[in-house]
């Protein structure tokens, strides 16, 4: 699963099991991330229920911990309403309001919006010896708080990335104050193209990415990568290895 894809968790109520599963959530948002700018009074996100049945949806924002709950989560943004019902095909706008919490002003801060779907309970009676399992889905999507007057501009951040080889690792440096989502990277290894999984790069950070093997001396010094812009669209970039 790429670093930009919304994270989906599937819970089996009654069994106490929680595991990742690559399935499609029924409650879907109009975009894959929310950019909340400093000074903005609120942001909105349109949701639609694609399920053929009604669901109760619970929303909260946290720092990305998979075991967080609405009671334990702490974030500078509050989703309203926090609990609502969606009929099949129904749309609803979710409002994100700032709480006034102080945040760093020299870089972006990343949070995650959680959408927890609770399907209706069947009314049919169970036969003797039978049990019922309720399946719920939890989707997480990025919420980025962006201070004013950051430099360079957000769309220029991927062009400032620096790539270098360190043994059997590709080291990526992000010298900008923005989070940069790399969807994929590609190196020319002789006559073959070496595919490297993408990564979410934090502001002012260095991230080592493991390579399948050391590159030969004949390998190209050009790297091609795909990054995700503010609208969730894939963009192409190129850089030289240092």
Query: Could you please report the per-residue DSSP string of 155-186?
Result: GGGGGG-EEEEETTEEEEEE-SSS-EEEEEEE
Please give the share of the chain, as a percent, with pLDDT higher than 90: 64
Phi, psi of 105 (to 5 degrees): -105, 0
Beta strands per DSSP E along the chain: 7-13, 17-20, 27-29, 33-37, 43-49, 55-62, 77-80, 83-86, 91-98, 109-118, 134-146, 162-166, 169-174, 180-189, 192-201, 205-210, 222-228, 234-240
Per-residue pLDDT of 123-155, as tens digits, reads 666 566 655 555 668 889 999 999 999 999 999
Q: Which domains does the chain possess?
A: 24-121+134-146 (2.60.40.10), 154-240 (2.60.40.10)
Name the more confident of 122 and 33.
Answer: 33
What tokens were used for 236? 């192409």
Phi, psi of 37 (to 5 degrees): -90, 145
- Whether the predicted pLDDT of 64 surpasses 70: yes
Mean pLDDT of the chain: 85
Strand-pairing partners, residue 146, are: 37
């Amino acid at each position: 699963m790429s670093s930009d894809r919304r994270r989906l968790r599937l819970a089996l109520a009654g069994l106490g099991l929680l595991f990742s599963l690559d399935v499609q959530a029924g409650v879907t948002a109009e975009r894959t991330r929310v950019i909340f700018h400093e000074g903005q009074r609120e942001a909105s996100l349109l949701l639609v229920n694609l399920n053929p049945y009604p669901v109760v949806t619970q929303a909260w924002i946290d720092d990305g911990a998979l075991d967080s709950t609405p009671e334990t989560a702490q974030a500078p943004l509050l989703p309203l309403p926090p609990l609502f019902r969606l009929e099949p095909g129904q749309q609803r706008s979710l409002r994100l309001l700032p709480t006034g919490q102080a945040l760093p002003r020299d870089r972006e801060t990343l949070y995650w919006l959680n959408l927890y779907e609770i399907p209706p309970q069947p009314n049919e009676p169970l036969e003797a010896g039978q049990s019922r399992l309720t399946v719920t889905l939890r989707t997480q999507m990025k919420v980025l708080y962006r201070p004013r007057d950051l430099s360079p501009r957000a769309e220029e951040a991927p062009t400032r990335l620096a790539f270098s080889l360190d043994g059997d690792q590709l080291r990526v440096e992000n010298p900008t104050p923005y989070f940069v989502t790399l969807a994929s990277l590609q190196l020319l290894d002789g006559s073959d193209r070496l595919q490297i999984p993408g990564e979410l790069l934090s502001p002012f950070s260095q991230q080592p990415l493991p390579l399948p093997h050391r590159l030969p001396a004949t390998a190209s010094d050009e790297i091609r990568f795909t990054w995700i812009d503010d609208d969730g669209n894939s963009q192409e970039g190129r850089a030289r290895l240092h």
